[in-house]
């Protein structure tokens, strides 16, 4: 068992990483939740895999009810949000009940958003079942839904009261989904833990220790900057370009991040910020996990970054590696981008 404490000003909580954790959730939940009712949100795929097991465990100590939504990004919609809130309200949810997100990133984001808004906020626990959500969205309290054709555009910061990660849930993921999560895990190594990155070259089993080491990188930056105004932006390494690629070509998130990281390394090298050894080393590790390494010209995608929600007041915060395992934030204005990358080209 591995434990990480996320220490925030008002909302500290524990991440438990333990093989077989789904079978003794009550032991941990009792440490943070002493009321009677738990409402689970899950999707139709995870329902078939784990819902009965989780309900049987929780019923030892709690009254349990649940709502199921279709698997997939379409469930992060205002319609699903409304429908799920209605269902929970019809089932009698109250302010002091607990919500439990059982599933991947869509479930975590939607459940967290409901937890942050229903009755102006009720507690929730994340039980992420994909590597991607264990690596990223289940930690740090970013919740939300898609709206007006933009991802995560309606949302709130709402920290869970606990995160329970059972690495055994990874056994049911197919290779592509596992590698999707590896995109974010490799990113953590690239921005903050060179030793982890080197370890990944040997294709280790993704176990409690690897998950712990990867999440330790996220923990550090979330603790410094809960609301994503400074240090936390480093987690967006590979995302500025990655989002543009993801939308355009339909890659999975971690795949797009893989390509986006290589584009950011290229740009960092051109700006003489990133050591040139980063490119072949990172590319080699991405290849080991069958992540895409197609070369896209970052200059063609710079324009798209202007529309990204991370573009605050005409400034794009680029994250560049200096060396593998170290990164820096570089605020670059729109006019600097135009001057450096477009007007000179004409
Ligand atoms: N997914 C990036 C963050 O949590 O800030």
Query: Which of 104, 136, 240 has most ligand 1 atoms within 8 Å of its beta carbon, as the pocket-test mutant?
Result: 136
Rounded mean pLDDT, 64-90: 98
State in Å: Cα 63 to ligand 1 middle.
33
Cα 109 from Cα 95, distance rounded (Å):
19
Q: Check pLDDT > 80 for residue 202.
A: yes
What atom of ligand 1 comes closest to residue 228's alpha carbon?
A: 5
Ligand 1 lined by 105 (C-beta under 6 Å): no
- Please write the tens of the pLDDT for every residue from 29-52: 999 999 999 999 999 999 999 999
State in Å: Cα 236 to ligand 1 middle.
7
State in Å: Cα 346 to ligand 1 middle.
36
What atom of ligand 1 comes closest to residue 184's alpha carbon?
A: 1
| Predicted local distance difference test score (pLDDT) of residue 147 | 96
| Predicted local distance difference test score (pLDDT) of residue 346 | 41
Give the pLDDT band of residue 313 (cuts 50, 70, 90).
Answer: low
Cα 301 from Cα 288, distance rounded (Å):
26
In order of 262, 275, 324, the CA distances from 284 in angstroms are: 11, 16, 13
- Please write the tens of the pLDDT for every residue from 206-228: 999 999 999 999 999 999 999 99
Ligand 1 lined by 51 (C-beta under 6 Å): no
| Predicted local distance difference test score (pLDDT) of residue 336 | 83
Give the pLDDT band of residue 171 (cuts 50, 70, 90).
Answer: very high
Closest C-alpha among 212, 96, 220, 114 to residue 163: 212
Mean pLDDT of the chain: 94
Q: Determine which of 8-17, 300-309, 335-344 has the lowest per-residue pLDDT on average.
A: 300-309
| Predicted local distance difference test score (pLDDT) of residue 77 | 98
State in Å: Cα 218 to ligand 1 middle.
8
Ligand 1 lined by 140 (C-beta under 6 Å): yes
| Predicted local distance difference test score (pLDDT) of residue 335 | 80
Ligand 1 lined by 254 (C-beta under 6 Å): no
Q: Check pLDDT > 80 for residue 307.
A: no
**What percentage of the chain reaches a pLDDT higher than 70?**
96
- Please write the tens of the pLDDT for every residue from 226-275: 999 999 999 999 998 998 898 789 899 999 999 999 999 999 999 999 99
What atom of ligand 1 comes closest to residue 222's alpha carbon?
A: 5
Rounded mean pLDDT, 52-74: 98
Cα 113 from Cα 143, distance rounded (Å):
5
State in Å: Cα 36 to ligand 1 middle.
32
Q: Check pLDDT > 60 for residue 310.
A: no
| Predicted local distance difference test score (pLDDT) of residue 272 | 95
Domain boundaries 2-172, CATH class: alpha beta
- DSSP states of 111-144 as a string? HHHHHHHGGG---EEEEE-SHHHHHTTTSS-EEE
Closest C-alpha among 148, 127, 146 to residue 138: 127
CA 70 to chain centre: 20
Q: Which residues contact 154 (CB under 8 A, 6 or more apart)?
A: 78, 113, 144, 145, 146, 147
Give the start-end residues of each E strand in the chain.
2-6, 13-17, 37-43, 63-69, 98-103, 124-128, 142-147, 150-157, 162-165, 315-323, 326-333
Phi-psi region of 212 (alpha: psi -120 to 50; beta: other; left: phi over 0): alpha
**What percentage of the chain reaches a pLDDT higher than 90?**
87
State in Å: Cα 138 to ligand 1 middle.
9
Cα 301 from Cα 46, distance rounded (Å):
36
- DSSP states of 207-257 as a string? -HHHHHHHHHHHHHHHHH-TTSSSGGGGGGTTHHHHHHHHHHH---HHHHH
Q: How many CB atoms lie within 10 A of CB 309?
A: 10
Nearest CA to ligand 1 atom 2: 235
Which position has the token pair 């077989």? 20
Domain definitions of the chain by residue range? 2-172, 175-225+237-345
The model carries a pTM of 0.95
Nearest CA to ligand 1 atom 3: 235
Query: Which of 104, 126, 139, 142 has most ligand 1 atoms within 8 Å of its beta carbon, as the pocket-test mutant?
Result: 142
Q: Check pLDDT > 70 for residue 345.
A: no
What is the CATH code for 175-225+237-345? 1.20.1090.10
Ligand 1 lined by 246 (C-beta under 6 Å): no
Ligand 1 lined by 136 (C-beta under 6 Å): yes
State in Å: Cα 273 to ligand 1 middle.
23
């Amino acid at each position: 068992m591995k434990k990480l404490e996320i220490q925030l000003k008002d909302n500290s909580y524990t991440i438990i990483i333990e093989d077989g954790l789904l079978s003794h959730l009550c032991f941990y939940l009792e440490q943070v939740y002493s009321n009677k009712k738990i409402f689970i949100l899950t999707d139709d795929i995870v329902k078939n895999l784990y819902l009965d097991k989780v309900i049987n465990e929780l019923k030892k100590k709690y009254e349990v009810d649940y709502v199921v939504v279709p698997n997939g990004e379409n469930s992060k919609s205002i319609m699903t949000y409304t429908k799920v809130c209605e269902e929970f309200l019809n089932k009698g949810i109250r302010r002091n009940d607990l919500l439990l997100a059982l599933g991947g990133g869509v479930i975590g984001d939607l459940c967290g958003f409901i937890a942050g808004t229903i009755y102006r906020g009720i507690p929730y626990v994340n039980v992420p079942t994909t590597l991607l959500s264990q690596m990223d969205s289940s930690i740090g309290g970013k919740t939300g839904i898609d709206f007006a054709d933009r991802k995560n555009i309606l949302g709130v910061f709402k920290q869970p009261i606990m995160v329970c990660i059972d690495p055994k849930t990874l056994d049911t993921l197919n290779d592509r989904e596992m590698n999707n999560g590896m995109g974010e895990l490799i990113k953590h190594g690239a921005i903050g833990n060179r030793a982890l990155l080197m370890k990944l070259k040997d294709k280790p089993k993704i176990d409690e220790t690897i998950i712990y080491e990867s999440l330790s990188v996220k923990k550090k930056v979330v603790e410094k900057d809960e609301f994503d105004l400074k240090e936390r932006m480093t987690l967006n390494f590979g995302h500025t370009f990655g989002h543009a690629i993801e939308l355009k070509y339909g890659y999975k998130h971690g795949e797009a991040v893989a390509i986006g990281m290589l584009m950011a390394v290229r740009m960092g090298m051109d700006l003489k910020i990133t050591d040139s050894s980063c490119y072949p080393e990172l590319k080699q590790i991405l290849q080991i996990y069958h992540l895409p390494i197609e070369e896209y010209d970052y200059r063609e995608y710079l324009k798209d970054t202007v529309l990204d929600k991370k573009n605050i007041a005409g400034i794009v915060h680029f994250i560049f590696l200096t060396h593998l395992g170290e990164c820096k934030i570089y605020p670059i204005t729109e006019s600097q981008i135009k001057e450096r990358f477009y007007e000179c080209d004409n």
